[in-house]
């Protein structure tokens, strides 16, 4: 895989996963937010404030209590209509840091926000950020349009930290960095998991019949399976496919007899996939993303009388930590606590705790950490902050593994490990992730 041909194709697969994330169901409001293991919903008894703050204070290097004084301003650009949860996560993190972690250097963080809906907005937001002398750092919540225009306008004048990379420019830009593994990591990690953990020799694939899906299958998944001499049989199907359509596709892919089935779809298609598998009476080893454990899928299983909260026996890929297995050390419990307390609806969009909220929350927390390490009075120039962003080796909140920026072809993607958890028999289990110390390493040789 090389350069922009892969990154350009991957951008489309990223947008597919982005659509899945942004369509996730509401948590039902901030009061419902602290995720209990195995429920997918939220706990009525989140971990005590002091326990969460102890981790957060260690992570950010902050001081307990509210921030005071002149705000330290951070630019924030995102596509609010497409990814409301990204902005919700960023705002919740700022509210939490300012109220309970002493801000940065004792000063409150203030987001200087600009929302993008069309490419022209991105250029306008970029110019706004570039010309704002009070800013040295800009966080990108998530953009599916105008990424190039934004980087052209602001790059080289402000340090850029990408919360959710969704387009080719996000992966290959030299203007900023992203601390998550992103969709490259998740998709390639799923293929590695089939080889390394399931010892698969045959893999079926049910893939969206779009440029995104075809690119993901042929340029990300297939090369890994080919390197391990694994037979891959993908079947491409419309995103609007019905349960009968997916039933036919499953039969054509040989999913019933294959050693594994790899698929990545929005929740609506996960529902049809679940129904199709049930209708065929087969039990494939499904490897998918966390989107197939999202709120709409859970609601469907409940509506059909299933005793399981999500599809039983499936494997779910993530950035190394599972919302349904919240732990202290990754920051997941802190995120769930703080989001429960501080996340607010964005316009007509209800609070969403899955999707993009967590990664963006973690990005803001990591930005606070880096500013505190530099010293708030020194974190005022592009060069100083940009060098610090690129030098950060982790661990990053909610992302497993060490970070290493500048790895070709996706030079802006600094995370190179992912996790996989399984839901089976009514409970979640870590299979390969940060919780059991066995994450899928994307930089290791394929065996």
* 26-181+328-415 and 184-318+420-441, same CATH topology: yes
> What's the sign of the alpha-carbon dihedral 213, 352, 54, 374?
positive
For position 185, what pLDDT does the model report?
87
CB neighbours of 251 closer than 8 A, spacing ≥ 6? Answer: 280
Is 421:436 a contact under the CB 8 Å cutoff?
no
**Full-model pTM:** 0.89
What 3-state DSSP class applies to 161?
Answer: strand
φ, ψ at 406 (rounded to 5°): 90, 15
What 3-state DSSP class applies to 250?
Answer: helix
User: C-alpha 423: how far from its chain's center?
Assistant: 19
Distance, in Å, from the CA atom of 230 to the CA atom of 258, rounded to the nearest integer, reads: 11
- Among residues 108, 184, 178, the alpha carbon closest in space to that of 359 is found at 178
Q: In CATH, what is the architecture of 26-181+328-415?
A: 3-Layer(aba) Sandwich (3.40)
- Per DSSP, 244 falls in state H
Distance, in Å, from the CA atom of 151 to the CA atom of 31, rounded to the nearest integer, reads: 37
Length of the chain: 447
Distance, in Å, from the CA atom of 400 to the CA atom of 282, rounded to the nearest integer, reads: 33
Q: What is the pLDDT along the chain (447 residues), one digit of tens a residue?
A: 444 444 444 444 454 454 334 333 443 333 333 333 333 343 334 455 778 899 999 999 999 999 999 999 999 999 999 889 999 999 999 999 999 999 999 999 999 999 999 999 999 999 999 999 999 999 999 998 999 999 999 989 999 999 998 887 898 999 999 999 988 889 999 999 999 999 999 999 999 998 878 888 998 999 999 999 999 999 999 999 999 999 999 999 999 999 999 999 889 999 999 999 999 999 999 999 998 998 899 999 999 999 999 999 999 999 999 999 999 999 999 999 999 999 999 999 999 888 899 999 999 999 999 999 999 999 999 999 999 999 999 999 999 999 999 999 899 999 999 999 999 999 999 999 999 999 999 999 997
What 3-state DSSP class applies to 289?
Answer: strand
Tell me the pLDDT tens digit for each residue of 127-164. 999 999 999 999 999 998 999 999 999 989 999 999 99
Distance, in Å, from the CA atom of 328 to the CA atom of 177, rounded to the nearest integer, reads: 26
Q: At what angle do helices 357-374 and 84-100 cross, to 10 degrees?
A: 40
Q: Using only the alpha carbons of the chain, give its radius of gyration.
A: 21
* b/e code 160-199 from CB counts within 10 Å (16+ = b): bbbbbbbbbbbbbbebbbbbbbbbbbbbbbbbbbbbbbbe
Tell me the pLDDT tens digit for each residue of 268-298. 999 999 999 999 999 999 999 998 998 899 9
At the top level of CATH, the class of 184-318+420-441 is: alpha beta
List the chain domain ranges.
Answer: 26-181+328-415, 184-318+420-441
Tokens 């769930």 correspond to: 336
Q: H or E segment at 183?
A: helix 182-196
Strands (E) across 146-200 are located at 159-162, 176-178
The string of DSSP codes covering 396-423 is: BTTB-S-B----SS-TTB-B-EEEEEEE
Per DSSP, helices labelled H in 72-118 are 84-100
Enumerate the β-bridge partners of residue 159. Answer: 137
Measure the CA angle with vertex 356, ends 343 and 287; round to 5°: 135
CB neighbours of 180 closer than 8 A, spacing ≥ 6? Answer: 163, 164, 165, 319, 359, 396, 398, 399, 413, 415
- Per DSSP, 445 falls in state P
């Amino acid at each position: 895989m090389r350069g922009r041909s892969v990154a350009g194709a991957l951008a489309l697969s990223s947008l597919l996963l982005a659509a899945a994330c942004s369509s996730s169901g509401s948590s039902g409001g901030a009061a419902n937010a602290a995720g209990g293991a195995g429920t997918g919903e939220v706990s009525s008894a989140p971990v005590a404030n002091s326990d969460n703050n102890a981790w957060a204070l260690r992570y950010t290097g902050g001081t307990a209590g509210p921030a005071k004084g002149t705000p330290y301003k951070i630019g924030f650009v995102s596509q609010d209509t497409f990814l409301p949860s990204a902005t919700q996560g960023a705002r919740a993190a700022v509210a939490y840091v300012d109220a309970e972690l002493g801000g940065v250097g004792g000063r409150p963080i203030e987001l200087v926000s600009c929302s993008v809906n069309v490419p022209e907005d991105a250029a306008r937001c970029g110019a706004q950020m570039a010309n704002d002398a009070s800013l040295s750092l800009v966080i990108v919540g998530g953009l599916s349009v105008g990424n190039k225009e934004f980087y052209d306008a602001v790059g080289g004048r402000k340090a850029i930290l990408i919360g959710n990379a969704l387009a080719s420019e996000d992966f290959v830009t030299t203007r900023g960095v992203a601390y998550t593994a992103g969709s490259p990591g998740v998709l390639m990690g799923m293929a590695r998991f089939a080889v390394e953990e399931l010892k698969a020799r045959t893999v079926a694939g049910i893939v969206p019949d779009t440029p995104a899906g075809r690119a993901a299958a042929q340029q990300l998944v297939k090369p890994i399976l080919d390197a391990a001499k694994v037979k891959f049989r993908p079947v491409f199907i419309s995103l609007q496919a019905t349960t009968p359509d997916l039933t036919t596709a499953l039969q054509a892919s040989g999913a019933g007899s294959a050693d594994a089935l790899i698929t990545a779809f929005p929740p609506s298609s996960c529902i049809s996939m679940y129904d199709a598998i049930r209708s065929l009476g087969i039990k494939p080893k499904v490897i998918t993303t966390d989107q197939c454990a999202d709120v709409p899928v859970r609601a469907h299983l409940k509506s059909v009388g299933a005793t399981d909260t999500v599809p039983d026996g499936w494997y779910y890929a993530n950035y190394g930590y599972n919302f349904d297995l919240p732990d202290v050390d990754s920051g997941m419990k802190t995120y769930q606590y703080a989001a429960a307390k501080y996340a607010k609806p964005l316009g007509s969009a209800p609070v969403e705790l899955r999707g993009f909220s967590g990664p963006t929350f973690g990005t803001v927390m990591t930005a606070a950490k880096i500013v505190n390490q530099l010293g708030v009075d020194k974190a005022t120039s592009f060069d100083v902050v940009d060098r610090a962003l690129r030098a950060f080796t982790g661990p990053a909140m909610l992302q497993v593994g060490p970070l290493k920026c500048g790895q070709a072809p996706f030079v802006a993607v600094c995370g190179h490990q992912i996790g996989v958890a399984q839901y089976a028999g009514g409970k979640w289990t870590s299979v390969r992730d940060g919780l059991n110390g066995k994450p899928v390493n994307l930089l290791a040789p394929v065996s």
